[in-house]
C-alpha cells in the first residue's frame, strides 16, 4: 500500500505537453512586490462580497461539522483542513472592510490585517487541500456554500499571482492554446480522423447545422480517446444529427479552477458561440465534473441571458435517450459500483441519471456507503490532481474511496467523469490496487442492442 509511483497524473507524456515538475517550487506569478500582491488580493476579495457571500460569512456558528465532511480532514485530523478555516483570509477582509461591525473590528483589531505570509500559507489550503466538492456545504447546518466561497477566494489569489505552479501552467496554456493539455483544434482534427479510420465510425466535425453539439475534455482527447469513439457509436446508433466544433470543443475549464474569472468566461463563450453557430438545440457536456458546473449552472450568467439551447451532461443525455427508447441496451453481467462525481451529482443534481442507465444495462448495482449526493470525493477535483506537492495528501484521501469500493464487494467500478477516472487510475498505480475504473459512456457503447 505504501509503494510510490513517481508518474504524476498529468505527466503521462510530460515533454510533449510541456508540464514539468519544478525543481524549486514556483508559487508566484508576475512581478508584483509583496505589498502590491496583498493589495490586489484584498481588492478582489472585496469585489466578491455580495449579499449572498455576506450572508454566508455572517451565518457561521463555528460548530465544526464541516470538518467531518472533508476527506482531507478526516484522513489527517489536522484542524487546518477544516473547510471553513480555509476561508480565514477572505473572512478577515470581510470583517474588517465590509461587515456590519467593520469599524469595530478595525479599531479593536479583532481580525488582523491580512499579510503576504498568510496568503502564501493559505495558498495550500485554498488549492492543495480543497477540491470544492461541496460535501461540507451539504453538511453545514447553516446552509453555507463553503465550496462557492473557496471559488471566490481563489479569484483574489489568482489576481495576486499566488497560484500553485502546475495549476497556473495548465490554466495559462488553456488560455493560450485553447486546451490545458495541448489538444489544439489541429490535434483534435488529426485525432478525429485517426479514430474514425481505426474504428470505422463517422465523427462529424464543423458541420454547419446540427441538432446536437458535442463537447469534449482534454483528458478524453489525449488519454481516453475511446470515449470519443463511444460517443460516435451511440449517436450513430440513434441516427442523431450532431457535430463537434473546432471553435468550441474544449469543455475543461481551468480558468474556473485556478480562479481567473475572465479565462473561465472565455472558455465557456467558445462553446456557447459554437452551439449558436450551428443552431444546436442541445449541447452535450463530456464526462467531466467541473465542466458541468461551469456551463450548466454558470453559463447563462456568463452569456447574460438564458442560453438558447439545452445543456446536458452525457449521463443525463444517455438516461433521457434510454427513457424515450432511442437507445436500447443488451444486458451487462455481474455486479458494479458507481462513483458519483461531486460536481455532477452533489453540486449538479444529476444523481439519478447514471443509475437509470445502469438499470437499463441490467447490471447489479451495489451502492457504496455514503453514496449519491453524500459520496466521498476521489480527492483529485478542483485542480488538486495537477499539484505535485498535494500528492501525499491526495493519496491519503483516496484511501477513503478504496474502503468504499471494498465495502460493496462489486466486481466492476464505473464513473461518469474523466477527471475522477484519471484520479482512480493514478490511485490504482500508486497503491497497486486491483480495481480498474471504467467509463459509463464506454459501457453503454459496448452494450448497444443491434
122-141: average pLDDT: 96
CB 418 within 8 A of CB 439: yes
Rg (CA), the chain: 22
For position 401, what pLDDT does the model report? 97
pLDDT at 212: 98
List 310's β-bridge partners, or say none: 282
Backbone angles phi, psi at 413, to 5 degrees: -140, 130
146-370-345-339 Cα dihedral, nearest 10 degrees: 120
Judge contact between 302 and 271, C-beta under 8 A.
no
Fold of 178-321: Glutathione S-transferase Yfyf (Class Pi); Chain A, domain 2 (1.20.1050)
Cell match 482534427: residue?
A: 189
Q: Is 431 helix (H, G, I), strand (E, B) or coil?
A: helix
Q: Which CATH number fits domain 34-162: 1.10.3820, 1.10.1060, 3.40.50, 2.70.98?
A: 1.10.1060
Distance from C-alpha of 246 to C-alpha of 67, rounded to nearest angstrom: 43
Q: Which residues make up the CATH 1.20.1050 domain(s) of the chain?
A: 178-321
Residues of the chain with CATH 3.40.50: 325-446
441 phi-psi bin (left φ>0, alpha ψ -120 to 50, beta other): alpha
Query: Taking a C-beta distance cutoff of 8 angstroms, is the pair 223, 424 a contact?
Result: no
What distance in Å separates the CA atoms of residue 40 and residue 49, rounded to the nearest whole number? 15
Q: Is the pLDDT of residue 158 over 60?
A: yes
Main-chain phi, psi angles of 435, to 5 degrees: -110, 140
Q: How confident is the model at residue 25 (pLDDT cuts 50, 70, 90)?
A: low
Question: CATH number of 325-446: 3.10.20, 3.40.50, 2.60.120, 3.40.1350?
Answer: 3.40.50
The percentage of the chain sitting over the pLDDT mark of 90, rounded to a whole number, equals: 92
Q: How far is CA 20 from the centre of its chain?
A: 21
Tell me, rounded to whole angstroms, the distance of Cα 125 from its chain centroid.
17
Average pLDDT over residues 19-35: 72
Ramachandran bin of 132, using left for φ above 0, alpha for ψ from -120 to 50, beta for the remaining angles: left
The pLDDT of residue 27: 84
pLDDT at 13 over 60: no
For 32-86, the pLDDT digits (tens) are 999 999 999 999 999 999 999 999 999 999 999 999 999 999 999 999 999 999 9
Q: For residue 95, give every residue at least 6 positions away whose Cβ sits within 8 Å of its Cβ, in sequence order, or none.
A: 57, 101, 102, 105, 110, 111
Q: How far apart are CA 66 and CA 209, in angstroms?
A: 48
323 pairs with which residues across the strands? Answer: none
Say how far apart CA 117 and CA 137 lie, in whole Å: 28
Residues whose CB falls within 8 Å of the CB of residue 132, separated by 6 or more in sequence, listed in order: 147, 150, 151, 342, 343, 381, 382
339's grid cell: 462513483
Would strands 335-339 and 310-313 be described as parallel, antiparallel, or unpaired?
unpaired
91 by Cβ neighbours in 10 Å (0-12 / 13-18 / 19+) ranks as buried
Q: For the chain, give the mean pLDDT.
A: 93
User: CA angle, corner 256, sides to 154 and 396, nearest 5?
Assistant: 70
The arithmetic mean of pLDDT across residues 262-287, rounded, is 97
For the chain, give percent helix, strand, coil, nearest 5: 55, 5, 40
- Rounded to whole angstroms, how far apart are CA atoms 394 and 170? 19
Mean pLDDT of 398-410: 97
Q: The whole model's pTM is what? A: 0.91
pLDDT higher than threshold 70 for residue 26 = no
Write the secondary structure of 322-381 as one string of H (helix), E (strand) and C (coil).
Answer: HHCCCCCECCCCCEEEEECCCCCCCCCCCCCHHHHHHHHHCCEECCCCCCHHHCCCCCCC
Residue spans in the chain of domains classed CATH 1.10.1060: 34-162
C-alpha–C-alpha distance, residues 252 and 422, integer Å = 14
pLDDT for the residue 450: 81
pLDDT tens sequence across 72-127: 999 999 999 999 999 999 999 999 999 999 999 999 988 899 999 999 999 999 99
Cell of 277: 453557430
The secondary structure of residue 294, as a DSSP letter, is I
- Per-residue confidence at 381, pLDDT binned at 50, 70, 90? very high
User: Which residue is listed with cell 488560455?
Assistant: 175
Task: Look at residue 426 and tell me whether its pLDDT is greater than 70.
Answer: yes
Stretch (H or E) spanning 212: strand 212-214
Mean pLDDT along residues 383-402: 96
Amino acid at each position: 500500500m505504501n509503494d510510490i509511483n513517481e508518474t504524476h497524473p498529468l505527466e503521462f507524456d510530460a515533454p510533449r505537453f510541456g508540464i514539468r515538475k519544478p525543481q524549486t517550487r514556483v508559487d508566484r506569478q508576475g512581478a508584483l512586490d509583496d505589498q502590491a500582491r496583498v493589495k490586489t488580493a484584498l481588492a478582489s476579495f472585496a469585489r466578491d462580497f455580495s449579499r449572498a457571500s455576506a450572508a454566508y460569512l455572517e451565518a457561521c456558528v463555528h460548530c465544526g461539522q464541516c470538518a467531518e465532511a472533508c476527506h482531507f480532514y478526516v484522513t489527517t485530523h489536522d484542524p487546518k483542513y477544516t473547510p471553513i478555516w480555509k476561508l480565514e483570509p477572505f473572512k478577515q477582509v470581510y470583517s474588517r472592510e465590509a461587515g456590519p461591525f467593520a469599524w469595530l473590528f478595525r479599531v479593536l483589531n479583532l481580525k488582523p490585517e491580512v499579510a503576504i505570509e498568510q496568503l502564501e500559507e493559505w495558498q495550500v489550503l485554498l488549492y492543495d487541500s480543497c477540491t470544492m466538492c461541496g460535501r461540507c456545504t451539504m453538511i453545514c447546518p447553516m446552509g453555507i456554500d463553503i465550496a462557492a466561497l473557496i471559488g471566490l477566494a481563489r479569484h483574489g489569489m489568482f489576481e495576486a499571482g499566488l497560484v500553485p505552479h502546475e495549476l497556473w501552467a495548465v490554466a495559462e496554456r488553456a488560455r493560450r492554446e485553447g486546451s490545458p493539455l495541448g489538444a489544439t483544434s489541429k490535434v483534435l482534427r488529426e485525432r478525429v480522423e485517426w479514430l474514425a479510420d481505426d474504428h470505422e465510425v463517422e465523427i462529424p466535425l464543423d458541420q454547419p447545422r446540427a441538432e446536437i453539439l458535442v463537447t469534449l475534455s482534454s483528458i478524453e482527447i489525449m488519454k481516453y480517446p475511446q470515449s470519443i469513439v463511444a460517443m460516435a457509436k451511440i449517436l450513430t446508433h440513434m441516427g442523431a444529427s450532431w457535430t463537434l466544433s473546432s471553435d468550441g470543443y474544449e469543455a475543461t475549464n481551468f480558468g474556473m479552477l485556478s480562479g481567473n474569472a475572465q479565462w473561465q468566461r472565455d472558455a465557456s463563450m467558445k462553446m456557447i458561440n459554437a452551439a449558436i453557430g450551428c443552431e444546436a438545440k442541445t449541447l452535450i457536456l463530456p464526462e467531466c465534473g467541473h465542466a458541468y458546473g461551469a456551463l450548466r449552472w454558470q453559463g447563462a450568467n456568463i452569456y447574460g441571458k438564458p442560453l438558447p439551447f439545452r445543456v446536458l451532461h452525457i449521463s443525463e443525455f444517455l438516461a433521457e435517450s434510454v427513457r424515450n427508447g432511442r437507445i436500447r441496451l443488451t444486458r451487462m453481467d455481474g455486479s458494479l459500483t458507481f462513483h458519483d462525481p461531486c460536481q455532477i451529482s452533489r453540486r449538479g443534481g444529476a444523481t439519478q441519471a447514471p443509475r437509470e442507465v445502469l438499470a437499463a444495462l441490467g447490471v447489479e448495482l451495489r451502492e457504496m456507503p455514503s453514496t449519491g449526493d453524500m459520496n466521498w470525493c476521489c480527492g483529485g477535483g478542483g485542480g488538486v490532481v495537477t499539484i505535485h506537492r498535494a500528492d501525499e495528501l491526495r493519496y491519503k484521501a483516496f484511501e477513503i474511496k478504496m474502503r468504499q469500493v471494498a465495502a460493496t464487494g462489486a466486481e466492476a467500478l464505473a464513473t461518469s467523469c474523466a477527471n475522477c477516472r484519471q484520479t482512480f487510475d493514478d490511485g490504482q498505480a500508486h497503491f497497486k490496487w486491483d480495481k480498474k475504473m471504467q467509463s459509463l459512456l464506454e459501457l453503454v457503447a459496448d452494450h448497444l442492442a443491434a
